[in-house]
């Protein structure tokens, strides 16, 4: 059997050798044998498992559900259960596509709302408690959106309390929809700033494109782009696992 070195795996996948060592320590690769002189001896199967783990672990965190789904694929691959890994990979692809579809629908509804296509009414000016119940969120969530600049709620001049009218409830419904669809507060805020300037075109682009001066470190700051990349990786995972199954059937490992 031809053994590979740490540097061989790193070069083949395009990562630093320390990344390979971390994957070994985290058990993202099968157990590794050592030579009499103490060097790790990797095989083709280790390299193929590294390729699978790399697709799951590299890049921005796509959210807990997608992360856990990807790690289940890695664990099944490392365990040698390629049939299970393939099944999980197809489920992972479906999950990514579902998340992306939800994000796209939310962006479509945003654009319709911005142009006045979607309208909503409330029977009267609401208190913060009434607004929270109408929107099925907590009072703390509403205060957080206000505090983060997503909305400026007018106050009753008589007592200083916030009052939520039709315009505020409509805007909050859009904020809630985008938030539940995976967009970050920063992404929603940058879009609303553009909208409040009267720029109603390219709102989808604003959701997905951080400003040069913006500290955008989350996957949800570029949610549609992130999910598009995750879908590409999901297809790659399926292809890698199928290739591994073919190699094992051919007796390569």
Name the more confident of 194 and 213. Answer: 194
In this structure, of 11-20, 50-59, 215-224, 241-250, the range with the lowest mean pLDDT score is 215-224
Task: Kindly tell me if the per-residue pLDDT of 47 is higher than 90.
Answer: yes
Per the CB < 8 A criterion, the answer to whether 52 and 207 are in contact is no
Cα–Cα distance, 154 to 128 (Å, whole number)? 11
Predicted pLDDT of residue 61: 74
Predicted pLDDT of residue 227: 95
Share of the chain above pLDDT 90, in %: 78
Average pLDDT, the chain: 92
Instruction: Dump pLDDT digits (tens) for 99-119.
Output: 999 999 999 999 999 988 765
Per the CB < 8 A criterion, the answer to whether 191 and 207 are in contact is yes
Task: Kindly tell me if the per-residue pLDDT of 28 is higher than 90.
Answer: yes
Confidence of residue 62 (pLDDT cuts 50, 70, 90): confident
Q: Which two tokens stand for residue 246?
A: 């073919």
Task: Kindly tell me if the per-residue pLDDT of 131 is higher than 70.
Answer: yes
Q: Which two tokens stand for residue 30?
A: 């099968």
Instruction: Dump pLDDT digits (tens) for 182-201.
Output: 999 999 999 999 999 999 88
Q: Looking at residues 91-103, what average pLDDT do you find?
A: 96
pTM passes above 0.95: no
Name the more confident of 120 and 62. Answer: 62
Confidence of residue 123 (pLDDT cuts 50, 70, 90): low
- Domains detected in the chain: 6-96+225-249 (1.10.1660), 103-224 (1.10.1660.10)
Instruction: Dump pLDDT digits (tens) for 136-180.
Output: 999 999 999 999 999 999 998 888 888 999 889 999 999 999 999
3-state DSSP assignment of residue 39: coil
Instruction: Dump pLDDT digits (tens) for 134-143.
Output: 999 999 999 9
Predicted pLDDT of residue 186: 94
Predicted pLDDT of residue 231: 97
Which is nearest to 2 in space by CA: 34, 43, 30?
A: 43
Which is nearest to 234 in space by CA: 101, 99, 102, 97?
A: 97
């Amino acid at each position: 059997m031809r053994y590979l070195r740490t540097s061989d795996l790193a070069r083949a996948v395009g990562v630093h050798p320390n990344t390979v060592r971390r994957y070994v320590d985290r058990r993202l690769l099968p157990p590794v044998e050592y030579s009499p002189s103490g060097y790790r001896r990797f095989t083709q199967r280790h390299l193929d498992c590294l390729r699978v783990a790399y697709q799951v672990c590299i890049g921005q965190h796509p959210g807990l559900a997608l992360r856990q789904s990807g790690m289940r694929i890695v664990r099944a691959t490392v365990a040698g259960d390629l049939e299970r890994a393939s099944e999980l990979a197809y489920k992972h692809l479906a999950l990514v596509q579902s998340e992306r579809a939800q994000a796209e629908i939310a962006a479509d509804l945003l654009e319709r709302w911005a142009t006045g296509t979607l309208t909503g009414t409330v029977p009267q000016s609401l208190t913060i408690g009434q607004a929270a119940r109408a929107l099925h969120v907590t009072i703390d969530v509403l205060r957080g959106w206000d505090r983060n600049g997503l909305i400026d709620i007018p106050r009753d001049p008589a007592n200083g309390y916030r009052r939520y009218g039709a315009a505020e409830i409509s805007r909050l419904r859009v904020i809630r929809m985008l938030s539940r669809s995976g967009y970050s507060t920063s992404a929603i805020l940058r879009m609303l700033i553009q909208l409040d300037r009267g720029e109603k075109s390219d709102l989808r682009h604003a959701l997905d494109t951080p400003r040069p001066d913006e500290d955008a470190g989350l996957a949800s700051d570029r949610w549609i782009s992130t999910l598009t990349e995750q879908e590409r990786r999901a297809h790659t995972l399926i292809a890698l696992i199928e290739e591994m199954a073919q190699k094992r059937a051919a007796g390569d490992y």
